[in-house]
C-alpha cells in the first residue's frame, strides 16, 4: 500500500491519504470515472468526479443523437485511424462507457450487424453505390430531398450544430478523466509553501 502526506489547510498535523494499490486505482479510475477514488476510500471526491464526467459524457451523447462516439474502421496502429477519428482517442479516456464503440467497429469491419442498436456508437458507412448517397430530410422544406455523399455527412446535416457540440462534450469528458486517473495514481498535488512563509507562520504562533 502507498500513502501520501498532505499538509492540512490549518497548518496543524499533516493528513495521510492511503492510495492502496495506485496502479489498480488508476485502472479503476479509467474504467469508470471516480471508481478509483472510491476504492481508495475517497468517496466524496469519487462521486463528484463520477457525476460530473459521466454527466458530461452522456449529455454529449444525448444531444448528438447517440452518434458522436465512434471509432475509425481503419487499422488501430495506422495513421488513418487517428486522422479519421482522433476524437475517439480522447473519448476513450472515459473508459467503459466509450468501449461499445470498439465493439461496433469490430463488427462493422467483419461485416456483422451492429450489436447495440443501429446507431449507438456505430461508425458511419461510406457511400454504398456510386451516385446513390444517403438521403436526409430537408429542415426547411420536407418536400426537398437532400442526398449526402456519405453517412457521416448525413448525420452532421440531420443533427446540425448539435453533432459538433455533442462531440466536444464527449471529448472533454474523456480528457478530464485523464486528470482523474493521475490523481488516483499519485494522490492530490502537494504544493509546499516557501521556507520564508513557514518561518513567518511559526513566529506568529509563538
Q: Residue 34, SS3?
A: coil
Query: d(Cα 117, Cα 113) in Å, to the nearest integer?
Result: 9
Asked if residue 150 lies in contact with residue 126, where contact means CB atoms within 8 angstroms, the answer is yes
- Which is more confidently placed, 73 or 189? 73
Angle formed at CA 191 by CA 186 and CA 193, multiple of 5 degrees: 155
What pLDDT shows up at residue 28?
Answer: 96
Query: d(Cα 158, Cα 148) in Å, to the nearest integer?
Result: 10
Please write the tens of the pLDDT for every residue from 10-28.
455 556 677 789 999 999 9
Q: What are the Cα distances from residue 22, in Å, to 29, 38, 124, 184?
A: 10, 12, 38, 7
What pLDDT shows up at residue 169?
Answer: 97
Q: What are the Cα distances from residue 106, in Å, to 7, 34, 111, 116, 199?
A: 49, 28, 9, 13, 62
- pLDDT of 163 > 80? The answer is yes
What number of CA atoms fall less than 13 Å from residue 148's CA on the CB side? 17
Query: 123 exposed, middle or buried (CB, 10 Å; 0-12, 13-18, 19+)?
Result: buried
- Which is more confidently placed, 177 or 113? 177
Please write the tens of the pLDDT for every residue from 127-141.
444 445 666 665 666
The C-alpha cell of 66 is what? 447517440
Please write the tens of the pLDDT for every residue from 42-89.
999 999 999 999 999 999 999 998 899 999 888 888 888 888 899 999
Asked if residue 95 lies in contact with residue 101, where contact means CB atoms within 8 angstroms, the answer is no
Q: What is the mean pLDDT of residues 166-175?
A: 97
- pLDDT of 6 > 60? The answer is no
- Which is more confidently placed, 193 or 114? 114
What pLDDT shows up at residue 130?
Answer: 41
What pLDDT shows up at residue 193?
Answer: 59
What pLDDT shows up at residue 114?
Answer: 79
Angle formed at CA 79 by CA 73 and CA 80, multiple of 5 degrees: 35
What pLDDT shows up at residue 204?
Answer: 61
pLDDT band at 177 (very low <50, low <70, confident <90, very high): very high
Q: What is the mean pLDDT of residues 156-174?
A: 93
Domain assignments of the chain as residue spans, ordered by start: 2-205
What pLDDT shows up at residue 22?
Answer: 92
Q: What is the mean pLDDT of residues 106-131?
A: 74
What pLDDT shows up at residue 80?
Answer: 85
- Residue for grid cell 456483422: 112
What's this model's pTM, rounded to 2 decimal places? 0.78
Amino acid at each position: 500500500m502507498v500513502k501520501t502526506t498532505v499538509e492540512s489547510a490549518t497548518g496543524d498535523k499533516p493528513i495521510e491519504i492511503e492510495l492502496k494499490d495506485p496502479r489498480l486505482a488508476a485502472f479503476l479510475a479509467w474504467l469508470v470515472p471516480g471508481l478509483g477514488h472510491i476504492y481508495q476510500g475517497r468517496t466524496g471526491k469519487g462521486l463528484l468526479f463520477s457525476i460530473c464526467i459521466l454527466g458530461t459524457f452522456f449529455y454529449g451523447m444525448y444531444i448528438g443523437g447517440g452518434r458522436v462516439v465512434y471509432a475509425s474502421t481503419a487499422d488501430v496502429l495506422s495513421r488513418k485511424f487517428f486522422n479519421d477519428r482522433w476524437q475517439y482517442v480522447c473519448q476513450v479516456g472515459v473508459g467503459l462507457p466509450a468501449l461499445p464503440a470498439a465493439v461496433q467497429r469490430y463488427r462493422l469491419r467483419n461485416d456483422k450487424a451492429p450489436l447495440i442498436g443501429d446507431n449507438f456508437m456505430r461508425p458511419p458507412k461510406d457511400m454504398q453505390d456510386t451516385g446513390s448517397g444517403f438521403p436526409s430530410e430537408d429542415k426547411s422544406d420536407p418536400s426537398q430531398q437532400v442526398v449526402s455523399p456519405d453517412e457521416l455527412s448525413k448525420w452532421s446535416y440531420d443533427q446540425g450544430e448539435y453533432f459538433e457540440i455533442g462531440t466536444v462534450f464527449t471529448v472533454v469528458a474523456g480528457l478530464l478523466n485523464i486528470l482523474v486517473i493521475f490523481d488516483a495514481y499519485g494522490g492530490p498535488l502537494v504544493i509546499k509553501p516557501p521556507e520564508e512563509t513557514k518561518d513567518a507562520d511559526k513566529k506568529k504562533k509563538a
